[in-house]
């Protein structure tokens, strides 16, 4: 199963593209070079010179265009060769490199690996809560040596907090919480409510809860293709209304590096109106999560990948549980979109008859 | 050529399985988890959760069963899921992992990777001299990046002591020693007698021989499938009867990790009646052998493997010598057992007409 | 595309083969052992014992023949087994290893991987200026993880000095220099003349030019199959005749290690008549070039290789420029020689109709 191409993927955080240094990054198995031109606009090109395949990312930005480090050809943001320093300076007709549609939004540079004519900013999901113009934001990054869908599975089923993160994020109350999931069109949601829970210190401190206090916690996860998730975690006093509590929203963006490795971008945002406290909290959340993400999730995802290997996920015949509903729904949506795209259709037509599909998938769980 | 499956292989030394920590080990290309239940009984399961393929070896033993580290499913020694902490707790019918027959004997945990119904303790070869109940024993382990049969070749032809271990185990007298080999059913033996030899200090000290003393040494190797060897080395004064000398028996167990890597388990045992001297001698032997094994044999085996690569041993067209008789006989036995097993027969029926085969193989040597 | 086999390749510098220690080196994907016999003659054999594939290079030279480190068989320079220390000492008929024709010339050991009967010293190109008998010579070596033809491309188009070596070998004047290229039979030449150039300190010092002096520089490259180049760099005062200047000739020998890695041997030579100055200059050149070669060329070649991967160079559809003429001509010559060899013909018959080919290749550049 290959990648969905006609979709927006995060290529980098905006602050990774600074000044005159190009950034090399493999995205969906393609070596890509990212850079900013003289006006600060971000561009994404194939990272190989049309002449002799030198990586343009090792070159320099000269007058807003990229100069190849080997023989000095220069390419603009549209991938056109605009300068040949040799001989009569003529540029061969085929001296161009592929340029990808790029849009900068929500503190990130997004790129569209499919047909340029289909790239539509309206298809970008809303992540306004991490828009740096209105919010204090902070972000983290991990490279994961696992298929990006395994990361989506992980985020769509937070029951694993109890077992994989017992000392940082979880508690004995998680697995027995109330879980609901569903989907609408291309969007999948999973909502977990945990009652009468004693939080781990890292979580309690983040929500301003005194140690040992009994609380209710909810964790709402929303997924959209190809791997863009919003997670809202909220905490309130046990038995209190949610409105009396506080929430922490976060964005989780999964971009395949290769078939078996993933760029995991994540970010927290809180309104600028929260002032210094908001600024401190988003930093606290990102820095604190790096430990369980890196030391607990990441080794697990990589172990799963190592176990599955090159095989298809379904060929490994997982024994599914009700907690897998959201993750499986997301996998099915991706599969039908990729099938539609390969058949030459718009992948967004693939999930129209959504109600019927949901029922079919549920009944397979009951059988399990 | 694949592995023989209906056979006992050593999975671990008994003392590697302690308390509540599971042990991960790849055996015959399968990731396996080994653990002890509440009664201390050893178990071997596929090291992947039936749910989402997490490695069970990273979980913990709870109440004598294995808990998956990702979502908390628990599996007993038969591979049955006995606990689902989520939702209504029901267990999907397919939530089981493969369990392998296991028996603990001679200080080791043995597992049977083939059909469970064929697993028969009576098929376990006798290695009573390293049974810790009656003996002082000590053991060593090396991971070798070479096919296990190359290790068997190495052990079945100790003429290499002279060339590969000149300063530790060998001498100039080895190659000119008297060698006899033969086979009976599935067992191959090679016996080498060396006369009038001056031993290296490590060997002389181990046998209580004064430096520079002229001795006779014999080295008797016995191999049984799939790669289980007994080596008895004896030393006596030059021209003296063997009964006047001393022997040091050792066990050498080869378990394929993958097609090109091997778990090499070896152990020495001497009767408890020998008291502290016996205890010291088995430790002396193992510790002293680690150096030539690791620094001389292992690089040679790995170089051979690198040279042969993925190719079949025979495709590389070895120019065989009479000293290879035992090793080639062992290879032929393994090959016919694997062929028989693949054809659906009991592999132990493969070597019945042994006499005729021996003759055929001998004559191929004469041609060589 | 495989390698040309009926050709001389450099296997090692002469001074790498010293005394009794064999040298292991992979050449054209073959593990080869090089050693000197009692008369000092160099030999090249397949580096695997005929018996059990042990690497002979780990053995020792005994009485002018190679002893296998595993079981002590000995092989002479013709690859014949001349000693079996076991049993009755008979040598099996098939106990021989392949020996390659070898000739020692120009400070290097050359080997011929193809049919021994076709090996002809007359086919060795002349590199008399690095013959240590008449010259002060000094040499360097780099292992490059790139196809050897990418190294040839690099050496056949020195316009890259300006972009890849701006601070060591290049200047802003290089790309605008005058370039001519052509071929005669199997030989390709590219001549670049740069006028009114200010040299980098490393180059200026090497030619005895004061800092900031305006000079004319020429760089003449000659290539012959399979990857043997002479580069003559000359410098004279701006507008002065070449005869008033000085030259520095160097040899560059590319031997494939594997399909994607290359042994790069290079050497400088100056007549012994130059005395100590000549001796110092060749050392200065080699030592000074190691930095740009290792830190600038080598990463670029490896990046190109990583980009092309297993694909054929042409399948990657390079957008060629006039500066590529020489390199492309060399590639075409190699391709036709390999095709001829595979068809069973003498590869040196492949480039007879040279004039016509040159025209055809030029016109493809004009189209570009």
Q: Dump pLDDT digits (tens) for A40-72.
A: 999 999 999 999 999 999 999 999 999 999 999
Does the beta-carbon distance from B300 to C70 stay under 8 Å? Answer: yes
Does the beta-carbon distance from B308 to C87 stay under 8 Å? Answer: no
Chain C residues with CB under 8 Å of B174 CB are none
Domain C133-367: give its CATH superfamily.
Naphthalene 1,2-dioxygenase Alpha Subunit; Chain A, domain 1 (3.90.380.10)
How far apart CA A188 and CA A181 sit, in angstroms, is 7
Chain A residues with CB under 8 Å of B87 CB are 179, 321-323
What count of CB pairs under 8 Å joins A to C? 69
Residue among C50, C87, C95 whose CB faces B323 most closely:
C87
Chain C residues with CB under 8 Å of A53 CB are 304, 307-308, 316, 318
Does the beta-carbon distance from B52 to A153 stay under 8 Å? Answer: yes
- Is B311's pLDDT higher than 70? yes
Q: Name all chains with 3 or more CB-CB pairs below 8 Å to chain B.
A: A, C
- Is C361's pLDDT higher than 50? no
pLDDT, averaged across chain B:
93
Q: What is the pLDDT of residue C349?
A: 84
Average pLDDT over every residue of C348-367: 47
Chain C residues with CB under 8 Å of B175 CB are 72, 85-86
Does the beta-carbon distance from A317 to B67 stay under 8 Å? Answer: no
Q: What is the pLDDT of residue A365?
A: 35
Chain A residues with CB under 8 Å of C318 CB are 50-53
Most B CBs within 10 Å: which of C85, C86, C91, C98, as the mutation test of the B interface? C86
Residue among A55, A72, A95 whose CB faces C307 most closely:
A55
Q: Dump pLDDT digits (tens) for C220-247.
A: 999 999 999 999 999 999 999 999 999 9
User: Residue C85's CB: how many other CB atoms inside 10 A?
Assistant: 19
- Is B353's pLDDT higher than 80? no
Q: Of B95-109, C128-142, C350-364, which range is least confident?
A: C350-364
| C82 phi-psi bin (left φ>0, alpha ψ -120 to 50, beta other) | alpha
Phi first, then psi: what are they for C145, rounded to 5°?
A: -90, 65
Residue in C with minimal Cα distance to B165? C70
Q: Dump pLDDT digits (tens) for B209-238.
A: 999 999 999 999 999 999 999 999 999 999
Q: What is the pLDDT of residue A20?
A: 77
How far apart CA A15 and CA A22 sit, in angstroms, is 12
Distance from CA of A224 to the nearest CA of B (A): 22
- Is B356's pLDDT higher than 50? no
**Residue from A4, A294, A298 nearest A146 by CA:** A298
Determine whether domain B9-123 maps to CATH 2.102.10.10.
Answer: yes
Q: What is the pLDDT of residue A363?
A: 31
How far apart CA A137 and CA B264 sit, in angstroms, is 54
Does the beta-carbon distance from B321 to C67 stay under 8 Å? Answer: no
Does the beta-carbon distance from A50 to C159 stay under 8 Å? Answer: no
Does the beta-carbon distance from B85 to A319 stay under 8 Å? Answer: no
Using an 8 Å Cβ cutoff, are B220 and B191 in contact?
yes
Q: What is the pLDDT of residue A356?
A: 39
Q: What is the pLDDT along chain A (368 residues), one digit of tens a residue?
A: 589 999 999 999 999 998 779 999 999 999 999 999 999 999 999 999 999 999 999 999 999 999 999 999 999 999 999 999 999 999 998 999 999 999 999 999 999 999 999 999 999 999 999 999 999 999 999 999 999 999 999 999 999 999 999 999 999 999 999 999 999 999 999 999 999 999 999 999 999 999 999 999 999 999 999 999 999 999 999 999 999 999 999 999 999 999 999 999 999 999 999 999 999 999 999 999 999 999 999 999 999 999 998 888 999 899 999 999 999 999 999 999 999 999 999 998 876 544 434 433 333 333 32
What count of CB pairs under 8 Å joins B to C? 69
Q: What is the pLDDT of residue A170?
A: 95
How far apart CA A328 and CA A321 sit, in angstroms, is 10
Chain C residues with CB under 8 Å of A54 CB are 300, 303-304, 307
Most A CBs within 10 Å: which of B50, B69, B70, B97, as the mutation test of the A interface? B70
Q: Dump pLDDT digits (tens) for B49-89.
A: 999 999 999 999 999 999 999 999 999 999 999 999 999 99
Q: What is the pLDDT of residue C19?
A: 74
Q: What is the pLDDT of residue A350?
A: 72
Give me the residues paired with residue B35 across strands. Answer: B43
Question: Where exactly are the structural domains of chain C?
Answer: 9-123, 133-367
DSSP single-letter state for residue C222: E
- Is C358's pLDDT higher than 80? no
**Residue from A12, A290, A282, A289 nearest A138 by CA:** A282
At residue C354 the predicted structure's pLDDT band, cuts being 50, 70 and 90, is very low
Most A CBs within 10 Å: which of B46, B86, B96, B258, as the mutation test of the A interface? B86
SS (H, E, C) chain A: CCCCCCCCEEEEEHHHCCCCCCEEEEECCEEEEEEECCCCCEEEEECCCCCCCCCHHHCEEECCEEECCCCCCEECCCCEEEECCCCCCCCCCCCECCEECEEEECCEEEECCCCHHHCCHHHCCCCHHHCCCCEEEEEEEEEECCCHHHHHHHHHCHHHHHHHCCCCCCCCCCCCCEEEEEEECCEEEEEEEEEEEECCHHHHHHCCCCCCCEEEEEEEEEEECCCEEEEEEEEEECCCCHHHCEEEEEEEEEEEEECCEEEEEEEEEEEHHHHHHHHHHHHHHHHHHHHHHHHHHHHHHHHHHHHHCCCCCHHHCCCCCHHHHHHHHHHHHHHHHHHHHHCCCCHHHCCCCHHHHHHHHHHHHHHC
Using an 8 Å Cβ cutoff, are B341 and C117 in contact?
no
Average pLDDT over every residue of C72-81: 98
Does the beta-carbon distance from B52 to A163 stay under 8 Å? Answer: no
Enter the ipTM.
0.92
Q: Name all chains with 3 or more CB-CB pairs below 8 Å to chain A.
A: B, C
Residue among B179, B316, B368 whose CB faces C92 most closely:
B368
Under DSSP, is residue C159 helix (H, G, I), strand (E, B) or coil? helix
Does the beta-carbon distance from C300 to A69 stay under 8 Å? Answer: yes
- pLDDT exceeding 90 applies to what percent of chain C? 90
DSSP single-letter state for residue B59: S
Does the beta-carbon distance from C86 to B159 stay under 8 Å? Answer: yes
Q: What is the pLDDT of residue B19?
A: 74
Does the beta-carbon distance from A319 to B92 stay under 8 Å? Answer: yes
CATH class of B129-367: alpha beta
């Amino acid at each position: 199963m290959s990648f969905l191409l006609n979709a927006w993927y995060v290529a980098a955080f905006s602050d990774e593209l600074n000044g005159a240094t190009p950034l090399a990054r493999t995205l969906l198995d393609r070596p890509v070079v990212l850079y900013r031109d003289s006006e600060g606009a971000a561009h994404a090109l194939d990272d190989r010179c049309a002449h002799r395949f030198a990586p343009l990312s090792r070159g320099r930005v000269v007058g807003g265009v990229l100069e190849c480090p080997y023989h000095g050809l220069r390419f603009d943001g549209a991938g056109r060769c605009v300068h040949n320093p040799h001989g009569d300076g003529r540029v061969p007709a085929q001296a161009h490199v592929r340029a990808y549609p790029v849009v900068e939004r929500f503190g990130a540079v997004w790129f569209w690996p499919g047909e340029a004519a289909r790239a539509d900013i309206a298809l970008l999901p809303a992540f306004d809560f991490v828009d740096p113009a209105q919010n204090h934001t902070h972000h983290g990054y991990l490279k994961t040596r696992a298929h990006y869908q395994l990361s989506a599975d992980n985020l769509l089923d937070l029951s694993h907090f109890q077992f994989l993160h017992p000392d940082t994020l979880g508690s004995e109350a998680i697995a027995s919480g109330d879980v609901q999931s569903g989907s609408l069109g291309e969007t999948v949601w999973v909502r977990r409510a945990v009652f009468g829970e004693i939080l781990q210190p890292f979580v309690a401190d983040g929500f301003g809860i005194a140690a040992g206090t009994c609380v209710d916690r909810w964790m709402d996860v929303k997924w959209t293709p190809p791997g863009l998730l919003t997670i809202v975690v909220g905490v309130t006093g046990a038995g209190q209304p949610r409105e009396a509590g506080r929430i922490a929203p976060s964005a989780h963006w999964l971009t395949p590096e290769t078939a078996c490795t993933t760029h995991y971008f994540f970010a927290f945002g809180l309104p600028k109106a929260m002032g210094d406290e908001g600024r401190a909290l988003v930093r606290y959340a990102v820095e604190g999560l790096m430990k369980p993400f890196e030391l607990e999730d990441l080794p697990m995802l990589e172990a799963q990948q190592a176990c599955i290997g090159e095989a298809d996920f379904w060929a490994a015949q997982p024994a599914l549980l009700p907690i897998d509903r959201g993750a499986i729904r997301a996998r099915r949506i991706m599969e039908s979109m990729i099938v539609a795209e390969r058949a030459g259709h718009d992948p967004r037509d693939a999930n129209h008859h959504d109600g019927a599909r949901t029922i079919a998938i549920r009944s397979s769980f009951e059988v399990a």
